[in-house]
Amino acid sequence: MTALFTLMPEAVGTIAAESKQIILDRLAQRFASVYGLDPVTVLERLEEREKLGSTGFGRGVAIPHARISDLGRPVAVFLRLETPVAFEAADGMPVDMVFGLLSPEAAGAAHLHALAAISRMMRDDKMHAALGETTNAEALYALLANSIDRDAA
């Protein structure tokens, strides 16, 4: 079985952001640079989804997601924030981890399965703690890639 989404090493990092809008901007830029997507389209789609309701998942995690026509399969970006940012999360807590997901326009079930896998990963107490304690992008990627591979097995 293959992974439900692609996460490239360059798609993982730590950023400074002062607002939800800046987070979405940086997320769109990272999706654009890593996966060759149009940053304006990505940002528009992420913003459209946020207008339906915050993707602030709780426990300091947000999972902004959208569907994009120029994709062949779901792709992800993971950003740790240097300082927590208000994100209108379900639990009212600020966010310090952002796991973005983009899926092809027609990827109904695949999009939902990928979101569910990310949600499970972020709810796992050991994983959540490890991601919160890890300071460099390579170690963050290794943790995430290992979990994604386990989920696909």
Catalytic annotation on 65? yes
Pairwise CA distance, residues 127 & 130, whole Å:
5
Band of the pLDDT at 152, cuts 50, 70, 90? low
pLDDT for 57-85, tens place per residue?
Answer: 889 999 999 999 879 899 999 999 999 99
Q: Whole-model pTM above 0.95? A: no
pLDDT for 70-126, tens place per residue?
Answer: 798 999 999 999 999 999 988 999 999 999 999 999 888 888 899 999 999 999 999
Residues 6+ apart with CB under 8 A from 55: 49, 62, 63, 64, 65, 87
The domain locations on the chain are 6-142
Residue 27: strand, helix, or coil: helix
The class that CATH gives domain 6-142 is alpha beta
Amino acid at 77: V
